């Protein structure tokens, strides 16, 4: 018998204690006042789940030398089991609430410590560099994983066009802040908008993907449409979704999960089986669709490509 989802993990294990407790308090209060019903109208909650593939194709894609040859996670699982709190905290909430998010028109501001600040339309991003399919592992801090054929191009292609200044040491990503389109933002579980960041050398690594699709199609809303980052050697929360701003900074940016639960979610968030989450081990993981757990690989199996970025660093201190 196959287990499609790691249901043996309780909600309190998936979320920091502070957030989990706050969430329960907010929901309990909201049930009396109708706030949850207002945030998630029934007419939108009853939308079809993504068994049918309706997304537009992305045309001719090249294959990537960085792809794993592991078995890919089925499309239905990839698009129905998601972490995207802006569309709800349950794993199936993002797919059910995906219709709130309107991804056309869409712009991404690129600014900060660069010589060429610019606002890109999503269609411009689609044409900025040749698109390729990369079959990457995705490892989440809750100890589940997937193998997903992402579509995009190296973030470095965008960075080079912007000509960062000598002061650009980090790259910050900001998600859309619009509670009408992202009803999860009506509940203050995080300090919205969601922000994430990478060190410049991490952002320039050829593995870091500016992602515009999966399975050869445009990104479904629940997976971070229309543009997100995928950083395959880090836990999934580092891969910001529905991005509206990319900012180059001299100082390390504040990031959402690190700000609300720094003892559990470090800035680096490298997949490291030797550093446990405070409330569970990270040494093993469950691949969606498999019964048995497997050993977690250092840097999610991408050590050959990225270990040199952290030479000499204490990876238990800089977790």
Q: What is the pLDDT of residue 55?
A: 72
pLDDT tens for 150-208 read 999 999 999 999 999 999 999 999 999 999 999 999 999 999 999 999 999 999 999 99
Q: Residue 22: which of 191, 275, 198, 269 has the closest Cα?
A: 191
Q: What is the pLDDT of residue 60?
A: 82
- pTM of the complete model: 0.86
d(CA 290, CA 56): 30
Burial category of 273 from C-beta neighbours within 10 Å (exposed 0-12, middle 13-18, buried 19 and up):
middle
CA distances from 57 to 8, 51, 150, 180, 238 (A): 36, 16, 13, 28, 26
Low-confidence ranges of the chain (pLDDT < 70): 1-54
Enter the tokens of residue 133: 């399919």
In 231-295, beta strands by DSSP E: 243-249, 284-287, 294-295
d(CA 122, CA 105): 7
Enter the tokens of residue 212: 């515009």
For domain 11-310, give its CATH number from 1.20.210.10, 3.40.50.700, 3.20.20.70, 3.90.420.10.
3.90.420.10
Q: What is the pLDDT of residue 236?
A: 98
Is the CB of residue 19 less than 8 Å from the CB of residue 260?
Answer: yes
d(CA 13, CA 51): 28
Q: What is the pLDDT of residue 50?
A: 42
Spell out the domain ranges in the chain. Answer: 11-310
- DSSP, collapsed to helix, strand or coil, labels residue 272 as coil
Is the CB of residue 305 less than 8 Å from the CB of residue 205?
Answer: yes
Q: What is the pLDDT of residue 54?
A: 58
């Amino acid at each position: 018998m196959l287990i499609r989802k790691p249901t043996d993990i309780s909600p309190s294990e998936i979320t920091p204690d502070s957030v989990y407790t706050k969430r329960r308090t907010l929901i309990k209060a909201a049930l009396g006042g109708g706030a949850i019903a207002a945030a998630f109208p029934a007419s939108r909650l009853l939308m079809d789940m993504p068994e049918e593939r309706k997304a537009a194709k992305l045309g001719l894609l090249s294959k990537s030398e960085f792809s794993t040859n592991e078995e890919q996670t089925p499309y239905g699982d990839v698009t129905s089991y998601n972490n995207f709190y802006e569309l709800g905290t349950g794993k199936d909430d993002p797919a059910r609430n995906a219709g709130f998010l309107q991804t056309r028109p869409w712009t991404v501001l690129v600014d900060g410590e660069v010589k060429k600040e610019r606002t890109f339309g999503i269609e411009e991003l689609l044409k900025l560099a040749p698109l390729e399919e990369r079959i990457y592992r995705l490892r989440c801090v809750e100890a589940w994983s997937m193998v997903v054929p992402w579509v995009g191009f190296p973030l470095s292609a965008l960075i080079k066009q912007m000509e960062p200044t000598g002061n650009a040491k980090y790259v910050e990503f900001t998600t859309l802040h619009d509670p009408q389109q992202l009803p999860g933002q009506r509940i203050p579980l995080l300090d919205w908008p969601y922000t994430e960041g990478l060190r410049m050398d991490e952002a320039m690594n050829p593995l870091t993907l500016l992602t515009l699709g999966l399975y050869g199609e445009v990104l479904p809303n629940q997976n971070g449409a229309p543009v997100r980052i995928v950083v395959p050697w880090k836990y999934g929360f580092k891969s910001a979704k529905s991005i509206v701003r990319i900012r180059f900074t001299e100082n390390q940016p504040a990031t959402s999960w690190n700000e609300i639960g720094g003892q559990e979610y470090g800035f680096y968030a490298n997949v490291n089986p030797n550093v446990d989450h405070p409330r569970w081990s990270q040494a093993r993981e469950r691949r969606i669709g498999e019964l048995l757990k497997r050993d977690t690989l250092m840097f999610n199996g991408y050590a050959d490509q990225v270990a040199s970025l952290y030479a000499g660093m204490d990876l238990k201190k800089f977790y």
